[in-house]
Amino acid sequence: MKNKPVYVLGTGLSHDSSTVLLKDGVVCVGIEKERLSRIKHDNGNDTLAIQYCLDAEGISLEDIDLVVQTANFEIPDAAYHQGPRLFTTPDHPPVINISHHLAHAYSAIGTCPFDECYVMVIDGCGSPFSQYREIHPELPGDFMADFSSTSEMLCEKDSFYHFDGQHLRTLQKDFSPMAAAEAGKPHFPTTRHSIGGFYSAVSHYVFGNMDDVGKLMGLAPFGKAGTIVQDVFYLENSRLMVRDDWNLHLTRPSYSYDHFLENFEYYANVACWAQEEVEKAVVWCIKNRLGNNTQSKLCFSGGVALNAVANARLLKNLGHKHVYFEPAAADNGLALGCAYYGWLAHLQQARVKHNGTTCFGRSYRPEEIEKAIRPYAHKWEVRDLPEEELLISCAKSLCKGQTIAWFQEGSEFGPRALGRRSILAHPGIQGLQQHINRHIKFREDFRPFAPAVQEEKVDLFFENGIPSPYMILIDQTRDEYLEKLSNVTHRNGSARVQTVSRKWNLRFWKLIEEFGQQSGIPVLLNTSLNKKGMPMVESPAEALAFFEETALDVLVMGTKMLTKRNQQGSLLP
């Protein structure tokens, strides 16, 4: 008789909530709550995401052996967190809590390719010191005495670990008091001395909100380095600190989008300065923690690890490429870390190496797609094509300057669309970038797009040729391809590259191959299948609704190809 599988469910309850289910140490399904609730950065109660995972795997709560959860400023009751949860009956599975940074760390070691490595976590704000001690009294650390004497509320800001292939050991942690608001001045929404807090504060100063702090990285290439001269970070007894006068020159906060546009050059210079300061701080902090071990393998997680420009600078400064940047490095990855903690640390089970994919969503059956299409069949041309014919037809559309909504298999887990829930277009046709931003994404013109290139050919088009399967590193577009890749190259010649693998993205890889044969350049513009303020599309029904309301030309779901009969919305006929 076959042994019953062991299921561990991880759930993150801070902002950007998510749930992940492991089966015998392997991810079988995972989803971010926002994809289901359709509320950007949704948090709190996890019933919706847990039920999605259970349904996708075809099991019930009774089949779960362990639940591991984390939240920032509280230890949630098993049965209640912003509303009743699924764990209301006395026979619910055991539920344990772990700290914020520990979840970030386990999300990295669970999915990394290394047998042994150091792990660095840097973000805006983690668990309070008092909560950390309450949840993990078993964890040793000389650092405890350094923070026990203060009455201030302290929270995690960076943590450093070593992983031996099975066990994670805490080497060093830093806690910081929460930042106080200063009247009339930009202030950190998080801990006083955090890199993530600085980046969020400047994003709020520039854009008037902190909903998409990544926009700052996209704006920075439009700025001029050296325009603002103000050091932000310094090292004190191996701790990264923020200067008291960091915001001295920030006296012109943006109060509207029109005001931002009128002062675009100024805010671009601020973004450029902030980006450079963050890059320096990341390198300082990590090199300080590594000490003489700079040639050792390293995992990097926490929200700051999503800064692709800083990541590339880190690789350059460490002088090697043995760094794994966790694709879901922000709080959406906490559930992944919780699940791996349950399997590795709590159940003491052997680690099963991850296969590299980030696509943890459920796949939609052809009959589900067919059913969703029926109400729209009279509006659009609908064809079900053999794969080879589908790819040829899609490549022809892309060569004409048409845009394609590309919906395939299970959705990506994390902030980047990697060829499962993507908008695709030609990388070099003039005006196409602005068309997508204005009429499909409905967002600012300066927002960049990524080049998706076959991993075998990345060094043909980009100077360093760095493997970047998760769109989490930048490279420089080679001079001879700047015009042909103008829609996916930033103002300063850089590009946030995605290298596409045959192993877990085969149909997307084949599409790029076919497009290359027809166009002469096997690179596609890739961006997420959503618009400003909207979570990425999850279901066929959402893809169809988005296709209808935007200027997209073609929608591909599985082998179904839908084309609008009226092509006036296309950039080119």
Q: Once rounded to an integer, what is the mean pLDDT over residues 470-488?
A: 97
Residue bearing the bigger pLDDT, 567 or 80: 80
pLDDT, tens digit (0-9, with 9 covering 90-100), for 370-384: 999 999 999 999 999
Per the CB < 8 A criterion, the answer to whether 157 and 222 are in contact is no
Q: DSSP assignment of 284-312, as one string?
A: HHHHHHHTT-TTS-EEEESGGGG-HHHHH
pLDDT at 2: 66
**What contacts 491, CB < 8 A, 6 or more positions away?**
221, 222
9, pLDDT greater than 80: yes
Instruction: Name 470's Cβ contacts closer than 8 Å, sequence gap at least 6.
Output: 325, 327, 358, 414, 416, 418, 498
320-358 pLDDT, tens digit per residue, is 779 999 999 999 999 999 999 999 999 999 999 999 999
User: What domains are there in the chain, each with its CATH number?
Assistant: 7-101+334-346 (3.30.420.40), 113-325 (3.30.420.40), 366-569 (3.90.870.20)
Q: What would the 3-class secondary structure string for 448-493 be?
A: CCEEEEEHHHHHHHECCCCCCCCCCEEEEECHHHCCCCHHHCCCCC
Task: Give the number of other CB atoms < 10 A from CB of residue 444.
Answer: 18
Number of other residues whose CB lies within 10 A of the CB of residue 287: 14
The whole-angstrom separation of Cα 383 and Cα 440 is 23
What pLDDT, on a 0 to 100 scale, did the predictor assign at position 181? Answer: 77
pTM of the predicted structure, to 2 decimals: 0.95
286-290 contacts at long range (C-beta below 8 A, 24 or more positions apart): 286/120, 286/122, 286/314, 286/318, 287/317, 287/318, 288/235, 288/238, 288/240, 289/118, 289/120, 289/158, 289/160, 289/171, 289/172, 290/118, 290/318
Report DSSP state, residue 241. E
Task: Give the least confident one: 203-217, 251-265, 333-347, 486-500.
Answer: 203-217
Residue 569 has pLDDT above 50, yes or no: no
338: helix, coil or strand? helix
* 159 token code pair: 């943590």
Q: Is pLDDT of 41 > 70?
A: yes
| Residue 46: Cβ within 10 Å count | 27
**Percent of all residues in the chain with a pLDDT value above 70, rounded to a whole number:** 95
Q: Indicate if the pLDDT at residue 546 is higher than 70.
A: yes
pLDDT above 70 for 15: yes
Does residue 212 carry a pLDDT above 80? no
pLDDT at 143: 61
